[in-house]
Amino acid sequence: MLRKGTDAELTSSISHEVFATVRPLAGIARNEKGEPKVSPEGLSIVNLPSVDAEGMNVTVRGLLPMGLSMREKFKITEGRIFTPGLHEVIVGEAVAKRYPGARIGSKLRFGVGTWDVVGVFSVGESAANSEIWVDMGQFTGDFKRAGEATRCWSPWTIRRRSMNLKKQIEENQNLGATVISEEDYYKGLTNNFASAFIQTLGFLVAVIMAVGSAFAATNTMYAAVSRRTREIGILRALGFSRFAILMSFMLESIFLSLLGGIIGILISIPVNGMSTGVGNFTTFSEVAFKFKVGPAAILFGLLFATIIGAIGGFLPAFAAARKGVIQAMRDT
């Protein structure tokens, strides 16, 4: 839940008084104790030296115990959870990898104090792995957000149990809030210049390499056709149709292209799981992501190789199929 008119957690602020209005709503899920699953959270940005640059912005999130329990895939992979009331933090696994000063046993300086890194956490494949989490009470105190005039929270995380919750909140003019699913929110964050540039660059590289591959396949198959002119003549003399000859050369081109695709996949496998980061101009912080070479990517790569082989081999195969028996014998 964000303040109406904002598109990012960092620029959102919802009044503390709204809490009493939202908690009793019927569309909110509840835990075993009957408590509504509503997690007001604080958000800020700190600058840390990374493996790639002298300083990059990292998101710091203040959480209540309810907020931790609502993250279903949350788990501590190293160390322990922070102790409420102490200057302790846990860092996402992407932060621990990319920021040498944010590993267990290190001390981070932000807010008005020094924080001990006591644990590393993982939340599946979520962008939360690029964040630092702290106790909400310490967060509000250190970032001077405890005064009555500033009793606001940045985003709220809510677990819904009915589809009417969004309508209940957005139609209440007193709340001045909007609701968006976590998946849609993070999908929206990827629609920025940096991610668009990476996607466009990757697409252009793929197109250039595809064109080059198609020409290479064409040249290879033209050479194969010229070397096997006698074979073509013999096949035609034995009664093989032009279509059969066309398909034989087309299949040869496709199989050669598939072989190249398999080699390319084997070369790319070591990249699987490698992580890097990209700056986000909406949140003003770095979001880490992993390269994934999964089954879908492998199947798409093989399909792409098949298409390139078919395109590159069609003209040579068509030329081979057009050769007559006499012409083929004369060209040997």
Same domain (yes/no): 136, 163: yes
Cα–Cα dist 84/104, whole Å:
18
Same domain (yes/no): 149, 292: no
Residue 125 lies in a domain: yes
Tell me, what's the pLDDT at 151? 53
Number of domains comprising the chain: 2
Q: Which of 180, 210, 241 is the last residue of a domain?
A: 180
Same domain (yes/no): 75, 54: yes
pLDDT, tens digit, for every residue of 235-294?
777 888 888 888 888 898 899 889 988 998 898 888 777 666 565 655 556 666 667 788
Residue 188 lies in a domain: no
Q: Which of 139, 156, 180 is the last residue of a domain?
A: 180
Same domain (yes/no): 172, 125: yes
Closest to 125 (Cα-Cα) out of 273, 320, 295: 273
Same domain (yes/no): 250, 273: yes
Q: How large a percentage of the chain has pLDDT more than 70?
A: 85
Cα–Cα dist 90/74, whole Å:
12
Q: Is the separation of the CB atoms in 273 and 290 below 8 Å?
A: yes
**In this structure, what are the phi and psi dihedrals at residue 108, rounded to the nearest 5 degrees?**
-115, 140
Same domain (yes/no): 172, 224: no
Same domain (yes/no): 240, 114: no
Residue 120 lies in a domain: yes
**What are the helix (H) ranges across 131-192?**
136-142, 165-170, 182-189
Q: E strands, the chain, where?
A: 2-3, 14-15, 38-40, 42-48, 56-63, 74-79, 88-92, 107-110, 113-123, 131-135, 152-153, 156-158, 177-178, 275-280, 285-290
Q: Which residues contact 197 (CB under 8 A, 6 or more apart)?
A: none
pTM of the prediction? 0.67
Residue 260: CA atoms inside 13 Å, Cβ hemisphere, count?
Answer: 19
Q: Which of 157, 180, 203 is the last residue of a domain?
A: 180
Q: How confident is the model at residue 163 (pLDDT cuts 50, 70, 90)?
A: confident
Same domain (yes/no): 220, 164: no
Residue type, 107: K
What mean pLDDT value characterizes the chain?
A: 81
Other CB atoms within 10 A of residue 307 CB: 14
Residue 153 lies in a domain: yes
Other CB atoms within 10 A of residue 49 CB: 13
Q: How confident is the model at residue 329 (pLDDT cuts 50, 70, 90)?
A: low
pLDDT, tens digit, for every residue of 2-51?
888 777 787 787 877 787 788 888 888 888 888 889 888 888 888 887 76
Instruction: Give the domain extent around 316.
Output: 193-330
Cα–Cα dist 299/303, whole Å:
6
